[in-house]
Structure 1
């Protein structure tokens, strides 16, 4: 058991400048594979948002350690080993992007103004620079992974990598590919269609007390009050005194997952931590200028040699798996392996299908009992899925 600041592992954290005159400084955590880092795949992991810190993916989803809640306080969160970390099979770069996410910052106010397209270009530039700085990983198979909103941005980054490789832009990137992901006409409702508007209002009323990231977990409306009143007082107190004042039982009286996030939120926003990491203050301004990336997938399916893994927690109402299936069907791929269960420890872990077209293959999997960020809810099953897919074995 170790605290976050004194953790010793094969990892690194630093900044890489991108954009005009390196005016955007992207912060990342890099953790080597626990297996054979010389030969194991390298993965760039993008947390959703846009604007979410990569720390959430590292501590709550697929990283090598998580918070030991029984022995943690807001002042000093303690870590424990995550036995289901994806770093058992791959080296992972957890990237804070775009500027204003996590510890990433910009040198000018204008550089905080960004969108899907600009974020794509900056992430691609980051990856090229990172590989130049870490040439021992140039020959490792590279995979790109994301969850939530970055399912929009990720295929655009993949396309940039293909474009750069084809024109000889160095270094040559040994791309493979993976992502997680909805769309529908209900987002563009005719204001004159009163029946449709009424139906959507009924749906909203039915769902307003449902926790959409995982529909079976409790909806806790006290978290906002906790964050705004008690939590702010805690942050102020921690700046003035090192006393160990707030413990886990006081924070988990609702039994809510969101309460657990206070540990990383407090640590990351601590004045001492931000000073030690030379963090700059930031305000993110992001424009959603890409509504769909289906055309990117269609291009990959018809012209590229690559593999894709798309997975969805089957209890996620933010991006329901049925919506993911709908856009996959729009690709008009050949079904190689029809809908069937996949197993972990002889128990059904979800359902899967495999598609192909020429040299392109796509594996889709649901994770039984998984929420919006599936590895956070079902770490053992997701690690098994990830390792089998990397090995090109059937789920």
Structure 2
């Protein structure tokens, strides 16, 4: 047992390189919550230095669950999840200027009910960096999950007061793809007796990338369900393409012709939320029906050069510019204890990553976790055409689970907030829910409803 104790002490020394932040530029006075930032080294010789923001639960840090939160991309900073989705801070647009962004408190933060670690992963995301440049050239899904798993091990060794808390691996978009891979590693590590033992209870994935073919193939039926293509065009496309809309046979001219007509109908639609305007900063290349992970990441350079000629149309992405201004401020970086000289420029989503998508489908990871008895919550904004809810329903159906509570509405303030279905396969439970009016991803569009959703699920109440 001596070798184990020595090993844990070595890890502990690394994990304690953290700072408590009491004030932040742009927020008046002291922060009314506990914020910690820091780096933890993982990989060979701790070459990968992963940056994180940790915010304690505003209710009961000792009793509330611990979330590890992963934002998507791959390559999008967890700061995006913190300020635009589920964290306690939001930009105060009314009082912000282009040079001095201001914050206000988010009344719908998930830190009302959970302790949350917002992790910048993989290497090259946000403030995370590699000591050796070769570390940027070997990124893939498996490595991202392994690094995140080892990060969490070290973080818990440095924060033993949270070892007893219920642990949930959470994230959305491409982060939702990595979530079940990490959860499986934790489960296997616990079974192998790897220290520290983690109190894993389940996982949460929002608008999750899961299976590249299923996710992308669902865009055509989703478009039809939302009246973006006609009945006749959908029926013709379904017949001629035989239900296969991704990488069609180039010799199938009828299918190709139909898909081109479908693209004409969809090319000016905002895929992140079909009811909101498509903005000019998005990559000018066509939004093809073939899977392309870059569709999940904004074109930063073009976005930053954007100038609004008129107040209309309003685009949600205009608000993202405040994160670039704030996070690149040297005063802000000093306040966050960012290591000087480790990154050239902070970007919300790093498109320059050399990243290999080596896990094509995570369906088997979900299947494994179900057999081990872990809880799962999968939610989808129902206006998202990047990862349509109909595709998510397709892969969930392939799990062959028993329906416990069939399709039914759930409510917030007496209004329909979405629809849900709960499955069970002893000893686990699996919940799928849509968020009405939500896009990619749901909490940014429907924060109040998503807080209600996570509160009920954590409390084992029907959503």
Same fold judged by TM-score > 0.5? Answer: yes
Question: Is the contact between residue 45 and residue 94 of structure 1 (CA under 8 Å) also seen in structure 2?
Answer: yes
Task: Determine which of 194, 200, 214 is the counterpart of 2:273.
Answer: 214
1:270–1:192 Cα change, 3 Å: farther
Compared CA separation, residues 333 and 263, structure 1 to 2 (3 A) = same
Following TM superposition, by how much is the alpha carbon of 1:273 offset from its aligned partner in structure 2, in angstroms? 3.8
Give the match for residue 322 of structure 1: 390
> In the alignment, what sits opposite 2:59?
35
CA distance in 2, matches of 1:374, 1:106: 32
- Cα distance between partner residues in 2 of 1:30 and 1:41: 13
> Residue in 2 aligned with 1:362?
430
* 1:248-280, Cα deviation, whole Å (9 max, x unpaired): x98965411000000002222334444662251
TM-score normalized by the length of structure 2? 0.78
Give the structure 1 partner of residue 339 of structure 2: 278
Contact 1:2/1:79, CA 8 A, preserved across alignment = no
Q: Does 1:198 align with 2:266?
A: no
Q: Given the alignment, which residue of 172, 177, 191 partners 1:152?
A: 177
Q: Distance in 2 between matches of 1:205 and 1:257?
A: 24
Alpha carbons of 1:250 and 1:29: their partners in 2 closer, same or farther (altered >3 Å)? Answer: farther
Given that 1:223 and 1:258 are in contact with CA atoms closer than 8 Å, whether structure 2 keeps it comes out as no
Distance 2:259 2:174 in 1: 23
RMSD of aligned residue pairs (Cα, Å): 2.3
Distance 1:78 1:293, change over 3 A: same
Deviation track 1:205-261 (CA, whole Å, cap 9, x = no partner) reads: 211111111111111226789975894599xxxxxxxxxxxxxx9896541100000
**CA-to-aligned-CA distance 1:281-326 (integer Å, 9 cap, x gap):** 266221111110101112222x301100000001111111111000
Distance 1:271 1:2, change over 3 A: closer
1:98-147 per-position Cα deviation (integer Å, ceiling 9, x unaligned): 01111111111111121001111000000000000100000000011111
Aligned to 1:96: 120
Q: Is 266-275 or 41-50 further displaced after alignment?
A: 266-275
Report matched runs for 1:1-395 at 5 Å: 3-4=25-26, 8=31, 9-113=33-137, 114-176=139-201, 177-180=203-206, 181=208, 182-184=215-217, 185-221=244-280, 231=304, 254-274=313-333, 277-279=338-340, 280-281=342-343, 284-301=353-370, 303-395=371-463
Q: Secondary structure at the match of 2:327?
A: helix
8 Å CA contact 1:50–1:150 kept in 2: the answer is: yes
Q: Does the 8 Å CA contact 1:213/1:316 hold for their aligned counterparts?
A: yes
C-alpha displacement of 1:198: 2.1
Q: Distance in 2 between matches of 1:62 and 1:7?
A: 20
Q: What SS does the corresponding residue of 1:124 show, helix, strand or coil?
A: helix
For residues 164 and 252 of structure 1, do their structure 2 counterparts lie closer, same or farther at Cα, with a shift above 3 Å needed? farther
Deviation digits for residues 22-46 of structure 1 (CA, Å, limit 9, x no counterpart) = 0000011000001000000000010
Aligned equivalents of 1:233, 1:297: Cα separation in 2: 41
Aligned length: 380
Distance 2:368 2:174 in 1: 20
- How far is the alpha carbon of 1:183 from its aligned partner? 4.5
Structure 1 segments (4+ residues) deviating >3 Å: 1-7, 222-234, 249-254, 270-276
1:364-392 CA distances to partner (integer Å, 9 max, x unpaired)? 00000000110110000000000000001
Query: In structure 2, how many angstroms separate the alpha carbons of the residues matched to 1:223 and 1:188?
Result: 23
Q: Matches of 1:222 and 1:288 in 2, distance apart?
A: 25
Instruction: Look up the match of 2:290.
Output: none
Name structure 1 gaps, 5 residues minimum: 235-248
Kindly state the Cα deviation for residue 189 of structure 1 after the two structures are TM-superposed: 2.0
The 2-side partners of 1:334 and 1:255 are apart by 44
SS of the equivalent of 2:245 reads helix
* Structure 2 residues without counterparts, runs of 5 or longer: 1-22, 209-214, 218-243, 285-298, 345-351
* TM-score, with length taken from structure 1: 0.91
